[in-house]
Structure 1
Amino acid sequence: MKKIGLTIYALNVFHTGKYHFEKKHGHLTFIDMISAFSKQNAKQFDIDNHAENIFKVNSFEVECVKDEDGHIIFNAFTGVVKTGEYGTEAELIHTKTRKLTHKKTVEEAEVIPFAFYLALSPIRPERGILIFQTEGRSSMKSAFEHRMKKFVRHTYEGWNFSLETLMPKEYVEHYLVDGVLKELRMIKYGISQDISERNGIRGNDEAVYEERIIHNPLGFLEKGADKIREVLRGQRSLCEVVSVSDFDYDCLKFKFRLGKTEKPLISAI
């Protein structure tokens, strides 16, 4: 059997140009969004001819996890999707008889079921954890993320989300202590109406963003390292780590160098 594994991501939900999770039309959370997405994709396989994959939500369930006193610990969403790629020919060989059992055509997709699990904080519903099942080199992440972002963008105007690899505190601490900070990158999704109108740019397109980069920020970690540690402990928002008066960023990225390796260490709201 293929090796079954898990990949864990930090989920950040945001509205263009805003840090907090505003309720534009009543109470709205990412679980509401993913529930609507799952219902829409449960009827039949969606075919992406560009990526040459198919996707379908097989089952899903919403759950409220509480402690023994009845207090909500987190809200959860579990599901199973079926996805696979097509576009290549292949032959299926029976491993016991060593005989050909089927010839796969370019129009056929090998579909694999994958489970996923979402947990959202009741206090900060814009933050959460998303866990994907993997099988060998196969994963559902790209097929899910592409379709989910497209659905959110078209259904909930101005909303978007990001998925970033979750890193252990010890791993981050290693870079803070032994690494060299090479770059601070601040990203603001969308552009101002003034710039949009003067240049004919569609400012609400998810691919449009402004970016400000500080290269070689010497001395930043003398105080900034403790701020990053506070973020990891949940005591500070990452958008409060770097103070820029004329640029309200939505996303902050750090690039560290450790030895000969340069790595974007943190990227979150």
Structure 2
Amino acid sequence: MKNVSISVFAFNVQNNLNEMVDLKKVAGKGIKNIFTEYMKDIQDKYESIPSKEKVYKSEYHIVEEKTDDDEREKYTFMFGKIKTGSYGIASEIVDSETGELIHTKTDKEADVLPFYFCMAIPASGKDEVYKGLLIFQTIGINSMRSTFETSFNRRIKEIDKNLKFVVGHLAPISYIQNYMDHGILENIILTKYKKYEDPADRAENGFDWEKQELNINKPKNFLLKKKDAILNYLKGGTGFSEIVEINDFGFKYDVLKFDFKLGSRTKRINLSNLEKVAITEDVTERVDMKGDYPSQESMKTVMEETVEEYMSEIGAI
């Protein structure tokens, strides 16, 4: 069984001056109505993103206004399910048990997988709201983020060409620092990408880059030595490549991730792009599986709980 994870981001909508606009009034509609229209419009057949060689289609969506015990509005919760997959490379489908060729897939056929996601914006009363929460479910190495980010931005621009949908930095420094202060650093994951020099290797693997990964399990005293360096980087300083020093191995990393355990929960924090610091959490043990995929109800519950946690952390509720 593949691991089921969620990745948490912030989102906003910006005008052509790169100024954030009120999410409740985007293009005179508001993000809630744009989300509903978007999901309804792609429910009948698969749409295509030629530039990314992706197809996608909505399967389910719901919008709920969440309130506290006193019936005061907390946030708008938008939850959905999208099927998406890639095309563009011909391949052979083989039965792993018999070794027999079952089907020859053309470059126009796509393998599609179902993914859940949610958007949430805090209630504000009469105040404006400029940032929301965006959570994607992943399964194994597969995700729908690229598909959604591109297609939803396309929908925003269809409504108003001067607007753009931006997915970016979520975690405040205090949030990450809390994990460094009170959590346990379980793993450091370093990844680098190297371009295949031999055209035969590129043809055999179907892409131009080779991925190499190095895992450091339960690093001893790492945070005692490197906590200040990490915080300096998060505050906009330099030194990303010096956070983990492994020059003796000749491994210059492009991607840096930390696995922190706090209580019974483990979160993966990706520091590779300061503008899009990503937080990933393995939720395999928290969802019910139906066959190879998480059930809709359990996935919705996990995302609701995660929204509550992050909204509270950033002071939105």
Unaligned runs of 5+ in 1: 184-224, 226-253
Q: Aligned partners of 2:69 and 2:129: how far apart in 1? A: 22
* 8 Å contact kept, 1:172–1:265: no
- Rate the CA distance shift 1:263–1:181 in 2: closer, same or farther, 3 A: farther
2:48 alignment partner AA: I
* 8 Å contact kept, 2:170–2:276: no
- Rate the CA distance shift 1:76–1:94 in 2: closer, same or farther, 3 A: same
Which of residues 117, 142, 145 in structure 2 aligns to 1:141? Answer: 145
* 8 Å contact kept, 1:255–1:264: no
1:178-228 C-alpha deviation (Å, 9 max, x unpaired): 358689xxxxxxxxxxxxxxxxxxxxxxxxxxxxxxxxxxxxxxxxx7xxx
- Rate the CA distance shift 1:122–1:16 in 2: closer, same or farther, 3 A: farther
Matches within 5 A, 1:79-228: 79-123=80-124, 124-167=128-171, 169-171=174-176, 177-178=228-229
Query: 1:10 maps to which residue?
Result: 10
Range 2-11 or range 99-108, more displaced:
99-108
Query: 1:48 maps to which residue?
Result: 49
2:149 alignment partner AA: E
Query: 1:198 maps to which residue?
Result: none
2:110 alignment partner AA: A
Unaligned runs of 5+ in 2: 181-225, 244-270, 278-317
Does structure 1 residue 256 correspond to structure 2 residue 275?
no
Q: Aligned partners of 1:152 and 1:138: how far apart in 2? A: 25
Normalized per residue, which structure has more helix?
Answer: 2
Root mean square deviation of aligned Cα: 3.1
* 8 Å contact kept, 1:30–1:125: no
- Rate the CA distance shift 1:122–1:180 in 2: closer, same or farther, 3 A: closer
Query: 1:78 maps to which residue?
Result: 79
1:265 alignment partner AA: L
Name the % identity: 25
Q: Aligned partners of 1:266 and 1:104: how far apart in 2? A: 38
* 8 Å contact kept, 1:14–1:20: yes
Q: Aligned partners of 1:104 and 1:118: how far apart in 2? A: 34
The alignment partner of 1:44 has SS state of coil
By how many angstroms is 1:50 displaced? 2.6
Q: Aligned partners of 2:54 and 2:134: how far apart in 1? A: 22
By how many angstroms is 1:15 displaced? 3.2
* 8 Å contact kept, 1:180–1:256: no
* 8 Å contact kept, 1:8–1:130: yes
* 8 Å contact kept, 1:255–1:265: no
By how many angstroms is 1:263 displaced? 5.7
Q: Aligned partners of 2:101 and 2:150: how far apart in 1? A: 35
